Amino acid sequence: MSPQAGPRLAGKRILLGISAGIAAYKSAHLARLLKKAGAEVRVVMTAGAQAFITPLTLQALTGEAVRTSLLDPEAEAGMGHIELARWAELILIAPATADLMARLAHGHADDLLTTLCLASGAECVMAPAMNQAMWRHPATQDNARRLADLGWRLLGPDAGDQACGDIGPGRMLEPEAIVDALFSSPEAASLSRSPEDAPVRSSESAPDSSNAAASGLTITITAGPTREPLDPVRYLSNHSSGKMGYALAAAAASRGARVRLISGPVALDTPPGVERIDVESAIEMCEAVRRAAADSDIFIGCAAVADYRAEQISEHKLKKTTDDDTLTLRLVKNPDIIAEIAACEPRPLMIGFAAETRDLETYARDKLIRKNLDMIVANDVGQAGLGFGAERNAALLLWREDQRRDGSSAPGRLELPAQSKATLAETIIDTALARFAARAPSKPSQQDTP
């Protein structure tokens, strides 16, 4: 907990809601930290939460009776739930399960905690905690968007090992991170994993990120097309807009990473807190990547790099002739940037992209192995409304293998349906961080939510 959290929380009336999930054990520590910071804390638990932690534990830590039922005759003699709703200046739900998120997103008031949320005008914050597949499910992502629209601030989830053996986003943030985030500025809330489709903005500084899933890591990302000159006015290029790469850079920066974005020519603003390096050709991009790779922990090759360039660039504009209806260009191969960096030792965690129009998984898995990558993001760019230039995309994530708790391993695979590129980038970055944590024992992730 940061030294600043105490003064900000002193005297604050906080209603701590606890829903079902193994991360409920962290709520006891969270309650203790809130009390230590000087806040007044009252706890409401759902019926499921009591299977993981007892009300008596929270009562001992807060010095206040714990409420568990909407239909408690003694408490409701004076409309106690309305009094509690009026008392709270801040409602903090940690952990918030997928079920609770769904009920709040759709205005349900079928237990004490959801009723209080609807009856209160307090600031509302939640820390989601669930299995990684549940968090990534389109229904949960839609509920997160609904909650954000209703004024909820989502802190997390974090990524890493989970109690069920999965790896990915879904772990509840650590109590210290939650306390530090409670009164950070609205701009700092951009690190929350709510999948709002916010536009990329230009900024001089990074968000004040309390979610430090990538703190201390350097992530290099390439984005956009390259332009291969033919003469002073013409070039070869492709339809890449750079939107996916820029969304990845924004997502990585929001998680606390130092982000270096090597960009081809695009019409996009630099995401907050991102170091941007502009290049034009594949050769220029290759040189920039070589310089950046040496101190990178993760490298993501999202740029649509031209495979070929002109063997010779004309000094003057190529003129159209009247006696010849054809023009012959001699092309030579450009460097294979991602394969070159993947061959280095030591090397960063290598993530590539594969844009295909058929046999998506076959070609992507071949590229994963052939280029010695750790993970690949495969896109079917033949689908209308997805891929190049579009606001939405779908992806198939493949990685070499997952180590299971029984010592066995299996190839990793995650299929992501069509969604905004900003939302897609969140999951790609979280998966990349989980792969890095699995590869780097010096930076272990702690076991958490189901």
Over residues 175-230, the pLDDT tens digits come to 888 887 775 433 333 333 333 333 232 233 333 333 456 778 999 999 999 999 99
User: Could you tell me the two tokens for 279?
Assistant: 């290049």
To the question of domain 218-439 being in CATH 3.40.50.10300, the answer is yes
Nearest to 183 by CA among 90, 67, 59, 268: 90
DSSP state of 297: S
338 is in an annotated binding site: yes
Q: Is the pTM of this model over 0.85?
A: no
Q: Is 336 annotated as a binding residue?
A: yes
Q: Which two tokens stand for residue 309?
A: 């360039």
Residues of the chain with pLDDT > 90, as a percent, come to 46
List the catalytic residue out of 117, 124, 164, 344: 164
Tokens of 180: 């530090």
Q: What is the pLDDT of residue 393?
A: 85
Tokens of 234: 């013409």
CA distances, 441 to each of 11, 162, 271, 444 (Å): 41, 16, 30, 5
Q: Domain ranges in the chain?
A: 5-191, 218-439
The answer to whether 12 and 41 have CB atoms below 8 angstroms apart is no
pLDDT at residue number 19? 93
Task: Please check whether residue 210 is in contact with residue 127, taking contact to mean a CB–CB distance below 8 angstroms.
Answer: no
Same fold, 5-191 and 218-439: yes
What average pLDDT score do residues 272-292 get? 94
Task: Report the distance separating Cα 190 and Cα 210, nearest Å.
Answer: 10
The continuous run of DSSP H or E covering 245 comes out as helix 243-254
Measured CA to CA in angstroms, residue 157 lies from 149, 200, 303 at distances of 18, 21, 28
One-letter amino acid of 30:
L
403 or 246: which leads in pLDDT: 246
Instruction: List Cβ neighbours of 384 (8 Å cut-off, separation of 6 or more).
Output: none
302 annotated among ligand-binding-site residues: yes
Please determine, looking at this structure, whether the domain spanning 5-191 carries the CATH number 3.40.50.1950: yes
299 marked as part of a ligand binding site: no
Q: Which residue has the higher pLDDT, 52 or 322?
A: 52
Buried-state track 81-110, b at ≥16 Cβ within 10 A, e below 16: beebbeebebbbbbbbbbbbbbbbbeeebe
Q: What percent of the chain has pLDDT over 70?
A: 82
344 as an active site residue: the answer is no
Residues in the chain, total: 450
Residue 333's alpha-carbon distances to 232, 255, 309, in angstroms, are 21, 37, 6
Please name the helix (run of DSSP H) or strand (run of DSSP E) that holds residue 94, with its range, or none. Answer: strand 90-96
Mean pLDDT value across the chain: 82
